[in-house]
Amino acid sequence: MTRRPRLTPDLVRRVHRDLADPGPMQRQKSVPKSWFADTARSLRAALAPGEPLWVFAFGSLIWRAPIAFADRRTGLVRGWHRAFCLGWDTRYRGNVDQPGLMLSLDRGGSCKGVVLKIAPERLDADLVRLLEREPPIVPRWVNVATDTGPLRAVAFVAERGYAGYVGGLSESEIADRLAVAVGFWGSMAEYLLNTVEHLERLGLHDRHLWRMQELVAARIAALPQDARTGR
């Protein structure tokens, strides 16, 4: 990684707080337990005989996967772009007073990411586990261009009709929220830094995320001590 982010581990530590898990968010409570197995079954049924199931990762799934994938490749998806448009997180990387705004795929443009292959012998169990970790959104099939040829994968996108879709915010408004949001998994600043660093190591520079980490770094550096600690 040749570029050095302005957002550093030291700045991330300034906003860190240890918070207890407040429990499921409302949108999680409304999802029946059967939804995960039913959705996994539907995705598997869409596979051709012998076709593996690939997942397109664009954010934390690249660096914090809940399952061990059998293979990974970098790839490009057209028609969708990486954006902070999934909200509001009041559990994992945000709280009721300072909700977080997560990355998802929004309509338009393109996105460089990583395609991850689920091992066929673990497909049923691993797919359910993956669905349980992600927002309760039915994944969408996308076409991915890779160095070894095209393939299709499922991706967790934020359709604009989804209740958790957040649009219309400026870069400045997004950065304001990312700089202070903290949940029981950690801060939005940590999430942003990890994503930027892992993409850079893979040679997948994202200009929008790079700009965002600069904005967030400047905001954290300017925070008064009481705002950093939440007291």
Reduced DSSP (H G I as helix, E B as strand, rest coil) percent helix, strand, coil of the chain, to 5: 35, 25, 35
pLDDT digits (tens, 9 = 90+) for 170-194: 999 999 999 999 999 999 999 999 9
The CATH code for residues 9-221 is 3.10.490.10
The identity of residue 158, as a single letter, is A
How distant, in Å, are the alpha carbons of 51, 116, 126 from that of 40?
15, 16, 9
Distance CA 3, CA 200 (A): 8
pLDDT digits (tens, 9 = 90+) for 65-99: 999 999 999 999 999 999 999 999 999 999 999 99
State the pairing for strand pair 182-183/186-187: antiparallel
173 belongs to the catalytic site: no
Using the predicted structure, report yes or no on whether residue 231 has a pLDDT greater than 50: no
Which position has the higher pLDDT, 137 or 200? 200
Distance CA 142, CA 153 (A): 5
Using the predicted structure, report yes or no on whether residue 228 has a pLDDT greater than 60: no
pLDDT at 26: 85
Distance CA 117, CA 33 (A): 25
Other beta carbons within 10 Å of 174: 20
Residue of 51, 121, 132, 134 marked catalytic: 134
Are 229 and 98 spatial neighbours (Cβ–Cβ below 8 Å)? Answer: no
The rounded percent of the chain whose pLDDT value lies above 90 is: 90
C-alpha angle with apex 101: 197 to 210, nearest 5 degrees? 30
pLDDT at 226: 58
Give the pLDDT band of residue 29 (cuts 50, 70, 90). Answer: confident
Using the predicted structure, report yes or no on whether residue 101 has a pLDDT greater than 90: yes
Helical (H) or strand (E) element with 46: none
**What residue segments make up the domains of the chain, in order of their start?**
9-221
Minimum mean pLDDT range among 16-30, 60-74, 146-160? 16-30
The structure tokens listed for 42 are: 């539907």
Are 178 and 84 spatial neighbours (Cβ–Cβ below 8 Å)? Answer: yes
Overall average pLDDT of the 130-143 stretch: 93
